[in-house]
Structure 1
Amino acid sequence: MPEFPRKDFQLHVGWRTIKTAVSAMLVAIVYCLIGRNPAFACIGVIFGMGVDMRDSIQNGGNRLFGTLIGGLLSIGVFWVYLLFYPQGGHTVFLAVLLGAATVILILLCQYFWPGGVQPGGVVLCIVLFSTPIESYVSYALNRILDTAIGVIVALLVNYFLPRARVVAFWEGLKGLFRMGSKV
């Protein structure tokens, strides 16, 4: 069982923390300026920012492919639901469809991207139980788009600002300041 609170904990704000915070902030600012809700794009950034590109691709891929599979599956399941209950309102039937959809989600994720089960399940549940009938398709598609944008931003930031490049830049700046103080 993990120790709580950790005895070895030391407060540390590292490069990954800074990249994550700045990327999320920039995405949120852009989204606010264009009048869109930044929540899912920012979640995509936070999931997608890894310690290196390999970690970012794994974590961001989990979020992106899970959201893609769960979002598209939720559209199909909601469509089936509306065939039987066009006005909605029968949540027990929707719960039964969720059970079947969860099996399908897990199988699809096992085939395409195993780490996508959890984020795919989140999107599936949100669309099925929290989205109005009139907007379930656009809602699901927007979640996929926003997540993709967030993950792509995280991947780009991690690609262009890897730790090695930033440390080298920082050391160079420190060297310049040391040289300048000797003059």
Structure 2
Amino acid sequence: MISSNFEKAFKAGVAVFLSIVIGGFLHINSLFYAAIAAVITLQTKVVDTIKAGQNRVFGTIVGAIIGMCFAIIGQGNAVLCGLGIFLTVLSCQKFGYDKSINIACIVFIAIMINLYEDITPFYYSVYRLKDTLVGIITAIIVDYLIFPKKDQKFN
């Protein structure tokens, strides 16, 4: 019998490897975000991995939309950053995605502060979503295919 620690480590290694390979093949903007999404999304059970992926996608979308809007108004502005975080948290709470708050805020901040000079807020937001989706989808597939649990049920 393989230990659960080995399973988690093996799945994480495979998920990151595949995220980087697939992301490179798809020419995604940042393999870094794809690999992080794969690691964070991967859970012990497939059903939990799917739920973590849903939370991550929702948070990424909310953070990207609000971040894009605020970056267009004034990238890096401290007042807009505070106001944007406030709205990001409220938006996640409003839709019942409390577990998405942290990632939504991180994506918002990445867009507001980490935006490259040669890219628009819209494209940077799209890139963050695309990069993240590669990692999430890879993590779900890896979790489902490698060491699948016989008793797992999808809700």
TM-score bracket, shorter-length normalisation: 0.7 to 0.9
- CA distance 1:163–1:33, shift in 2 (3 Å): closer
- Distance in 1 separating the partners of 2:24 and 2:130: 16
Q: Check the 8 A contact 1:52/1:158 in 2, yes or no.
A: yes
The equivalent residue for 2:99 is 115
Measured after TM superposition, the shift of residue 134 of structure 1 is 4.3
What are structure 2's unaligned runs of at least 5 residues?
A: 151-155
Q: Check the 8 A contact 1:63/1:119 in 2, yes or no.
A: yes
Aligned pair 1:46/2:31, yes or no?
no
2:80 to 97, 102, 127: 97
1:130 to 102, 114, 123: 114
- Distance in 2 separating the partners of 1:108 and 1:75: 15
The equivalent residue for 2:16 is 24
Percent of aligned positions that are identical: 22
- Distance in 1 separating the partners of 2:27 and 2:107: 22
Measured after TM superposition, the shift of residue 17 of structure 1 is 1.7
- CA distance 1:105–1:56, shift in 2 (3 Å): same
- Distance in 1 separating the partners of 2:19 and 2:146: 17
- Distance in 2 separating the partners of 1:58 and 1:41: 17
Give the count of matched residue pairs: 145
Q: Check the 8 A contact 1:48/1:61 in 2, yes or no.
A: no
- Paired amino acid for 2:24: C
User: So what's the TM-score if we normalise by structure 2?
Assistant: 0.82
Larger Rg: 1
- Distance in 1 separating the partners of 2:5 and 2:72: 46
- Tell me which stretches of 4 or more aligned residues in structure 1 moved more than 6 Å: none
Measured after TM superposition, the shift of residue 43 of structure 1 is 1.1
Q: CA RMSD in A?
A: 2.2
